Chains A and B, each alone.
Chain A
Amino acid sequence: MLQRKPRQDFGRTLHELSIAQEIYRTSRAAVAAHGPGRLERVKVAVGELTAIEPDLLTFAWEALTGGGPDAGSLLEVEWHPARQFCAACNAEKPRAQGTWLRLCPDCGQALQVSGGQELDVLQVAFLPDGAGGGELEEGKGGHG
């Protein structure tokens, strides 16, 4: 996934980096509303039609949070594929990842595309300051 041509990779990561920044801002605001604390896990929904690649997004998240107060926090991506729906059959038509059906394989009617536009911060888990996480647990270095 990350073995792309350098230039292209740079461009893509830059894009995911600006999205990661927005996620970070939203997550930090959610924590701040509950008092000081350190991010542990952020769960986001990413749809297939958002032009965002989950691998590059988590890579960007690590680059963004690394070295800061929230280093080691985990970005969990919930992937939402787009669906192709046949109104005539009143049913969703399965397709292989990365391929699209031209017409309904069962009745030949045109299909509708739905979903895949998700780009949401769903949930934030954080350790409130002084709640006895991180520093008190010796010998767990590398865990984050």
Chain B
Amino acid sequence: MAEVVDVRARVLAANEEEAARLRKGFAASGALVLNLISSPGSGKTTLLEATVRAFGGRLRLAAIEGDIATERDADRLRALGIPAVQILTGGACHLDARQVRKVMDEAHFPGVDILFIENVGNLICPTSYDLGEDFKVALLSVAEGDDKPFKYPAIFARAEVTVVTKVDLLPHVSFDVAAVREQLASLNPAGEVVLTSARTGEGIPEWCALLEQRLAGKRRARA
């Protein structure tokens, strides 16, 4: 006869425990931590480059770059003078909390104000892995189509902020911003939406203001 055992355990319990430890460490250091998630090529690294330029050294920024292969994204950010560590997942389609823990143990980003974690380019897999971040940011470029929030509801329901990127391309693609706003409003009524173009600089000041606001909020909560 088979024996039946009630388990009732979170499948990702091990990752969630590690993420909780990371979150505690980030709270103690006062750093704002973002987990950036999008399909490959939506413009995550380019948005970070524009952010580094826009802050112009006013805030101490750092980045963890998740990719399946190559140090390219970390190199792009180091070239702008911020500390960046590349995590190579060797095939895995997402970052997990243990990988971030390892970087934090080794690298230390002393006194950093905002830590950006750029996840592996993928709109699905990174969704369920908590990295100890303050919030997730989903990026959707206008070239990808305006039906994506309902097609990938898990990430857009969870991301506190959605950045619609490459809006300089709007004249060349059929992308209905209002339709995307509607989908996001029903999946995530409390979520914020920012429209940016790293090419023209449109929306970058609003994005940076949002970051500063969130950072101030975190610091206030800590005081």
* Residues of A bordering B, CB below 8 Å: 11-12, 14-15, 18-19, 22-23, 26-27, 30-31, 33-34, 37, 40-41, 44, 48-52, 82, 84, 98-103, 110-113, 116, 119-128, 131, 133
Contacts and interface: CB of A to CB of B under 8 A. Distances in A.
14 contacts: A14-B92, A23-B11, A26-B9, A27-B7, A30-B7, A41-B2, A49-B154, A51-B155, A113-B189, A119-B128, A121-B7, A123-B7, A127-B2, A131-B1
Interface stretch (B178-186, B202-210, B212-220): B178-186
Nearest to B126: A51
B158 interface: yes
A110 B185 contact: yes
B128 A50 contact: yes
Contact of B124 (A15, A100, A124): A15
A37 B3 contact: yes
Contacts of A111: 186, 189
Interface in B73-103: 91-94
A100 B187 contact: yes
Interface size class of chain B, counting residues whose CB lies under 8 Å from the partner chain: 35 or more
B125 to A, nearest CB: 4
Interface string B94-133: 1000000000000000000000000000101101100000
B7 A125 contact: no
A30 B8 CA distance: 10
B26 interface: no
In the A-B complex, the 3 residue pairs with the smallest Cβ-Cβ separation, listed nearest first, are A51-B154, A15-B125, A51-B127
B51 interface: no
A49 B157 contact: yes
Contacts of A51: 124-125, 127-128, 152, 154-155
B221 interface: no
Given A11-B122, A26-B13, A99-B150, A121 B8 contact: yes
B153 interface: yes
Contacts of B1: 127, 131
Nearest to B157: A49
A103 B183 CA distance: 10
Main secondary structure, interface of A, reads mixed
A22 B129 CA distance: 12
B188 interface: yes
Given A82-B157, A84-B186, A111-B189, A12 B3 contact: no
B146 to A, nearest CB: 14
A37 B1 CA distance: 11
Interface string B1-26: 11111111111111000000000000
A125 B124 contact: no
A119 B94 CA distance: 17
B11 A100 contact: no
Contacts of A116: 157
Given A52-B128, A100-B183, A102-B185, A123 B6 contact: yes
